[in-house]
Amino acid sequence: MKLIYKIFIAVVLLTGFWSCENEENLMILEPQEAAFGLITPENGSSIILNKETPNNTALTLTWEKVSYGTPTIVTYTVQFAASNTEFAAPVDITTSTTTHATITVAELNAKALALGLTADTEGTIDIRIKSTVGTTLSEPKLSTPITIAVTPYRGEFPKVNLFLVGPGTAAGWSVDNNNMPIFRDPKENAKQYYTGYFNADGFKLIEQIGFWAPMYGTNGAAVQYRATESDADPGVFPTAAAGYYSFEINLEELTYKITPYTGPMTTYATIGLTGSVLTGDDTGWDTEVPLVKSDFDGHIWKATQTLKAGKMKFKANNSWDVSWGDNGGDIFVEAGKYEIWFNDLDGRYMFITIP
């Protein structure tokens, strides 16, 4: 009996010792107390980005390894933030299980501009590393942040279609009433133009037919951009009296200019498009597709047409006496179905892709 009792006590003691050891082994995710830091770049480093080398490495980041007290996979996330914001809205840039990362010129330029830096002007951004463990990315630790100076370049502005809306336009206050587009510069996407007839009381510009935002209007002498319908409604671009106006807008610089149009006002009976885009070969230059004249403005023309890849021009009155192209030359077009708009006052044109 005593032997059985001794064996029982030994089993209890061994079980207790094993439980204590096992409980200690479960406490494996205690983060180290010491902060970790970035090794490169140095705090205060300066980078000037070169538009001609977008795929080159602009920034190489290395940092100290973080230990969580036991072998485990650690995930590191590079985070950027606008300077002097205490990382109130950090932006995740890249994630890695190594202690280094590289960022290209184009990537750094895009992030710098998104964080509010101005093109061709030196500004600063804050950088830190966040470490986590496990599939749930738990036990986060943050590195000591650094600040670097970056001079971004002016990136290529995206192509945006803009359509007229408001009492000065044919559509009135309707965003789905065959709203006329304005004409994007063929070489600078941020610049757009419109020369034509307006009623009094002004107009605004929308990006998508059927939607009130995104929208461009005015805030005093500057352009105001309305990203969503919950944003403040901008004022109208002014047309004090009915008549012809020349309008210019720069979407990147948010500037505009509108003046009365005093140029030639030649009236054409017909406008057509011709070229290899109609047939896929040179026989297309012997064919012509007529455009339809606007009832609101007799100098704005429109056609919907499927085009082949090739060249084309616009011509007036079924004759080569008056024709328009790209600075006098042919207009090169990719294959597709388009809504085609043409302005005979200034020779500008727009091709809006139809899905």
Do residues 67 and 170 share a domain? no
One domain for residues 147 and 50:
yes
Helices (H), 167-239: none
Does 256 share its domain with 276?
Answer: no
- Same domain? For 167 and 147 the reply is no
Residue 224 dihedral angles phi and psi, to the nearest 5°: -110, 130
Are residues 216 and 114 part of one domain? no
Answer yes or no: do 141 and 180 share one domain. no
Q: How far apart are CA 86 and CA 45, in angstroms?
A: 19
Last residue of a domain, one of 97, 125, 151: 151
CB 160 within 8 A of CB 326: no
Residues 191 and 96 in one domain: no
pTM for the predicted model, two decimal places: 0.64
Dist CA 223 CA 107 (whole Å): 28
Tell me which of 11-15, 132-136, 196-200 is least confident. Answer: 11-15
Q: What is the pLDDT of residues 104-118, one digit of tens each?
A: 998 999 899 889 898
Half-sphere CA count of 77, side-chain side, radius 13 A:
15
User: What is 284-337 written as a DSSP string?
Assistant: GGG--EEPEEPSS-TTEEEEEEEE-SEEEEEEETTSSSSEE-BTTBPEEE-SEE
| SS3 per residue for 36-67 | CEEEECCCCCEEECCCCCCCCEEEEEEECCCC
User: What is the DSSP code (8-state) at residue 329?
Assistant: B
Percentage of the chain with pLDDT > 90? 76
- Inside any domain, residue 4: no
Residues 169 and 143 in one domain: no
3-state secondary structure at position 219: strand
Strand 146-151 and strand 46-48: the pairing is parallel
53: confidence class by pLDDT, cuts 50, 70, 90: very high
202, 235, 260 - which closes a domain: 260
Q: Tokens at residue 119, please?
A: 């093109």
Three-state SS at 5: helix
Domain count, the chain: 3
Spatial neighbors of 237 by CB under 8 A, at least 6 apart, are 202, 203, 204, 205, 217, 218, 247, 256, 258
One domain, residues 256 and 275: no
Residue 9 domain-assigned (yes or no): no
Q: Which domain holds residue 146?
A: 38-151
Distance from first CA to last CA of the chain, Å, rounded? Answer: 91
Task: Say yes or no: 240 and 313 in one domain.
Answer: no
Round the average pLDDT of the chain to a whole number and report it.
89
Q: What pLDDT sits at residue 179? A: 97
Q: Which is nearest to 168 in space by CA: 258, 255, 256, 251?
A: 258
* pLDDT for res 252: 86
Domain endpoint, select from 130, 151, 172: 151
| pLDDT over threshold 70, residue 298 | yes
Q: Which two tokens stand for residue 107?
A: 């990537």
In a domain, residue 60? The reply is yes
Q: Is 202 helix (H, G, I), strand (E, B) or coil?
A: coil
Digit-coded pLDDT (tens) for 175-187: 999 999 999 998 8
Tally Cβ neighbours within 10 Å of residue 78. 23
Q: Could you give the CA distance from residue 330 to residue 324 in angstroms, rounded to a whole number?
A: 8
pLDDT at 25: 39
Q: What is the pLDDT of residue 156?
A: 78
Q: What is the CATH number of the domain that holds 301?
A: 2.60.40.3620
Total Cβ atoms within 10 A of residue 148: 21
As a whole-number percent, the residues of the chain with pLDDT over 70 amount to: 90
> Both 135 and 170 in a single domain?
no
Q: Is 22 within the bounds of a domain?
A: no
In a domain, 265, yes or no: no
Residue 322 domain-assigned (yes or no): yes
Residue with tokens 């951009």: 225
Domain contains 14: no
* CATH code, 126: 2.60.40.10
In a domain, 175, yes or no: yes
209 pLDDT band, cuts 50/70/90, is: very high
Residues 255 and 278 in one domain: no
